[in-house]
Amino acid sequence: MESGDNTESVDVAEYIASQMTSKKAGIGITLDTRSKGDPVRGGEVTHLGKQPLYKAIEAAVKKYTQITRGGSATMTFKCIDPDLIEMLLWKTQKCSLATRVDKIDYNFSYNDAFAKAVLFDEDWYLFSKYWAPEVHDNFHSEDYENYVRAALKSNVPHTKVKAMDIVKSFGGSRGETGRMYCINLTTTNRHTPFLDPIHQSNLCLEIALPTKPYPDMADLLSHVSEGETAFCSLAAGNVANIEDNEIFEFYERALRTVDRMIDKAPMMNASMKESLLRRRSVGIGITGLAGKLYKAGLDYDGSPESLEFVAHTAELHMFALYKASIKMAKEDGIHVEGIKKDWLPIDTMQSDREYTMDWESIRGLPRKHSVLVAHMPTESSAVFSNATNGVYPSRSRVVYKKARKGKVQFISQYFTADKLSAWEANLIPYYAAIQAWTDQAISADYFEDFTTLPNRKVQEVDNIEWFLTQSLMGVKTAYYNNYLDTKGVEVEQEESCEGGACKL
């Protein structure tokens, strides 16, 4: 969800955050407000910036924490925000306790223009929402640089910095906390069927849906609101246990189950129920990918054979879901609106691989759901299905998953001594292969083994190379950075989805 640039809208966002976390929802939120020093009430006072607003959201999502129920939020902010340099430090120990906002996570949103500025070591411009609303509103646009040029020509107040300095600061904060995420909003809005813009992701970075701010509480409580909270209903298939000839039947059953739950879902109010039913956004993901790869005698070694295997698995996964949604639309007479009806992933994917399914045979056919694929984290959820985590490699053959009742042992059955662990594999090509066949996004974890690094520290140049590579290869989002700093028994932590949010 997001808020607009007025007190009523910010208060509504805080209210929703509080109410939804009490129901075990994980929150992704953007406060699209003015910056520190901007005029308030025509200049009577100056704005204090976003820090007090972030503190209020932090308190809102934590206030109903109980033994079996917690709350968490990921806050998305743009790389053009004048408060950016301070915000990159709020989760770290590099700022005072009074300033720190470290009980929530952060999502650094950027665009293709920023990645280009980093690549060529160019200047970058920071604009306040108050002075340059068109620049902010078109941040996701392919034509973003034209809006910047227009703003500079009009002498709109701005700050000039080096894009490289920003990405260095981002990399430092991500390295220190492991929980400074990022999203490329140009790629996110290019590789999607949605007509409305996508401004952010969710708590765990696998969801990519449109949101709109509520101007006030009256709008939230109306039957059909101007604002919109994004909801996505999740499931996953343990592909290690599904044969290719079972795929279509399996995913049709999975989609029918999730679709029934959408109809039954209790909502906070009528307008949220209306948008839930209008969008019918689904995120059915893959878990157990490592198990499937290992069973086939392959590894996360970057070989053409393993990359093709993963790409084929992801393509078949998505095609089966699209076929099922088309079938259900025909049966139920429900044809989802608000999407580019002729869009297919083959139109916008950043891949030169030849696809194997007959995608043109389904072009333009009505379907029941706006989007269908998202790959969520399954650290603890995978215990139930005895699956390797999501689309990641195994950390080791035996790990202990942290749970409220103690540690649960998990054995990666086909993970042998000759396989690359998550700490050793280069995952970007695999995420890119999966993202091509994903209309939403991936909770894309990365892994660093400090014990192999000089002075147990990731070099700044490596952070920059990682950032540019994952962006240029079309990966929309980056989730956790996981670190190994001692050798021994590994315990996988619960993901930030506290209290059951985003769990399957």
- Average pLDDT for residues 169-184, to the nearest whole number? 95
- Which parts of 430-502 are beta strand (E)? 446-449, 477-478, 481-484, 491-492
Same domain, 365 and 487: yes
State the DSSP string of 126-167.
Answer: E--TTT-HHHHHTTTSTTHHHHHHHHHHTT---EEEEHHHHH
Per the structure, how many domains does the chain have?
2
> Range of 296's domain?
229-500
3-state secondary structure 296-355: CCCCCCCCHHHHHHHHHHHHHHHHHHHHHHHHHHHHHCCCCCCECCCCCHHHHCCCCCCC
Same domain, 282 and 396: yes
pLDDT at res. 64: 82
Same domain, 145 and 284: no
pLDDT at res. 292: 96
- Average pLDDT for residues 98-118, to the nearest whole number? 97
Same domain, 315 and 389: yes
Cα 46 from Cα 31, distance rounded (Å): 18
Asked whether residue 195 is assigned to any structural domain, the reply reads: no
The closest alpha carbon to 370, from 221, 207, 204, 260, belongs to 207
Same domain, 176 and 241: no
Which amino acid does the sequence have at 83? D
The pTM (predicted TM-score) of the whole model is 0.95
Could you say which DSSP state residue 287 is in? E
Same domain, 179 and 233: no
Same domain, 186 and 239: no
Domain-terminating residue out of 190, 220, 252: 190
pLDDT at res. 110: 98
Instruction: Say what percent of the chain tops pLDDT 90.
Output: 82
In tens, the pLDDT along 145-157 reads 999 999 999 999 9
In tens, the pLDDT along 353-398 reads 999 999 999 999 999 999 999 999 887 676 777 888 899 999 888 8
Instruction: Say what percent of the chain tops pLDDT 70.
Output: 94
pLDDT at res. 287: 94
pLDDT at res. 363: 98
Is 440 within 8 Å of 207 (Cβ atoms)? Answer: yes
Asked whether residue 80 is assigned to any structural domain, the reply reads: yes
Same domain, 178 and 235: no
**Per-residue pLDDT band at 499 (split at 50, 70, 90):** low
Cα 263 from Cα 421, distance rounded (Å): 41
Backbone angles phi, psi at 59, to 5 degrees: -70, -40
Asked whether residue 209 is assigned to any structural domain, the reply reads: no
Cα 206 from Cα 187, distance rounded (Å): 14
Same domain, 411 and 496: yes
Same domain, 237 and 184: no
Residue predicted with more confidence, 326 or 24: 326
Asked whether residue 421 is assigned to any structural domain, the reply reads: yes
Cα 157 from Cα 125, distance rounded (Å): 10
pLDDT at res. 399: 82
**Per-residue pLDDT band at 500 (split at 50, 70, 90):** low
Same domain, 80 and 185: yes
Q: State both tokens at 437.
A: 């066949």
- Average pLDDT for residues 472-478, to the nearest whole number? 98
Could you tell me which residues come within 8 angstroms of residue 369 by beta carbon, excluding any fewer than 6 positions away? 255, 259, 280, 281, 282, 325, 336
- Average pLDDT for residues 205-210, to the nearest whole number? 98
